[in-house]
């Protein structure tokens, strides 16, 4: 079974963790290219001129709009606006667990497959750049550091990765890394742990399958 078929099958059977209602909502896309041998994840770096998350690496996405039919629609709309990938080019596979940003936004990530050589057109009003990272990079490369973070009083140790592309250095950390770790663990049996056993039991991070 190919890697793409493997994680597609797993994601379709996955029941991710859902958080409570009441927070502002956002949807992001985890775009994975259909490379048969070396799938890549597409990431963005936010413009340094933005008021929030400036200069940070993130998945394409944004806040729910009243005109959006769902958070899936939000993720696809924002991806089209930010990187030029049209919704019809994305094969949505399924959601990952919801997470809350430092600004109190509840984020729902959706994994989607896109053609290997799909044209990328960054919206330079929002982004400095768009780049791809082979999924195997996160398996073969040790994190550059572990960041200590807390959520609802629970301590996390979140890996941070440094990646160089076209002589540009990118730091993949924080919420983006948390989402990425869940995907890697599910898709590739990466076994990257951000909770110890005690914290895992308190936070209930084992979703139903």
* pLDDT tens digits along 67-102: 999 999 999 999 999 999 999 999 999 999 999 988
3-state secondary structure at position 16: coil
135 domain residue, yes or no: yes
In this predicted structure, the answer to whether residue 153 has a pLDDT above a threshold of 80 is no
pLDDT of residue 52: 59
Tell me what percent of the residues of the chain surpass a pLDDT of 70.
89
Query: What span, in angstroms and rounded, lies between the C-alpha atoms of 28 and 183?
Result: 13
Q: Are strands 154-165 and 168-172 parallel, antiparallel or unpaired?
A: antiparallel
pLDDT band at 208 (very low <50, low <70, confident <90, very high): very low
Query: Which H/E stretch holds residue 69?
Result: none
Query: Which H/E stretch holds residue 53?
Result: none
pLDDT band at 36 (very low <50, low <70, confident <90, very high): confident
209 domain residue, yes or no: no
79 domain residue, yes or no: yes
pLDDT of residue 201: 39
In this predicted structure, the answer to whether residue 53 has a pLDDT above a threshold of 90 is no
In this predicted structure, the answer to whether residue 209 has a pLDDT above a threshold of 60 is no
pLDDT band at 42 (very low <50, low <70, confident <90, very high): very high
pLDDT of residue 150: 78
**C-alpha neighbours within 13 Å on the C-beta side of residue 138:** 28
Place of tokens 């990187």: 83
CATH number for the domain spanning 53: value is: 3.90.79.10
Q: In total, how many domains does the chain have?
A: 1
163 domain residue, yes or no: yes
Query: What span, in angstroms and rounded, lies between the C-alpha atoms of 49 and 196?
Result: 37
pLDDT band at 174 (very low <50, low <70, confident <90, very high): very high
The overall average pLDDT reported for the chain is 88
Provide CB contacts within 8 A for 157, sequence distance 6+: 146, 147, 148, 149, 194
Rg (CA), the chain: 16
Provide CB contacts within 8 A for 39, sequence distance 6+: 3, 4, 32, 33, 134, 135
Range of the domain at 105: 3-203
pLDDT band at 152 (very low <50, low <70, confident <90, very high): low
Other Cβ atoms within 10 Å of 38 Cβ, number: 13
208 domain residue, yes or no: no
Calculate mean pLDDT across residues 137-164. 87
Query: What span, in angstroms and rounded, lies between the C-alpha atoms of 87 and 151?
Result: 33
172 domain residue, yes or no: yes
Top-ranked range on mean pLDDT: pick from 40-54, 162-176, 192-206: 162-176
148 domain residue, yes or no: yes
Claim: this prediction has a pTM higher than 0.75: yes
Place of tokens 């936004």: 105
Is 59 in contact with 44 (CB distance < 8 Å)?
Answer: yes
């Amino acid at each position: 079974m190919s890697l793409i078929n493997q994680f597609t099958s797993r994601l379709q059977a996955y029941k991710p963790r859902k958080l409570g209602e009441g927070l502002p909502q956002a949807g992001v896309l985890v775009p994975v290219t259909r490379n048969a041998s070396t799938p890549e994840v597409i990431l963005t770096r936010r413009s340094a001129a933005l008021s929030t998350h400036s200069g940070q690496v993130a998945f394409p996405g944004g806040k729910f709009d009243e005109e959006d039919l769902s958070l899936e629609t939000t993720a696809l709309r924002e991806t089209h606006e930010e990187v030029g990938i049209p919704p019809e080019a994305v094969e949505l596979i399924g959601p990952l667990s919801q997470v809350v940003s430092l600004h109190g936004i509840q984020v729902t990530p959706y994994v989607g497959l896109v053609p290997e050589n799909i044209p990328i057109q960054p919206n330079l009003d929002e982004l400095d750049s768009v780049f791809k990272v082979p999924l195997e990079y996160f398996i073969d490369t040790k994190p550059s550091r572990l960041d200590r973070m807390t959520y609802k009083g629970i301590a996390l140790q979140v890996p941070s990765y440094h990646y160089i592309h076209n002589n540009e250095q990118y730091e993949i950390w924080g919420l983006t890394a948390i989402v990425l770790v869940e995907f890697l663990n599910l898709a590739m049996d990466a076994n990257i742990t951000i909770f110890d056993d005690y914290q895992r039991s308190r936070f209930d991070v084992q979703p139903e399958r």
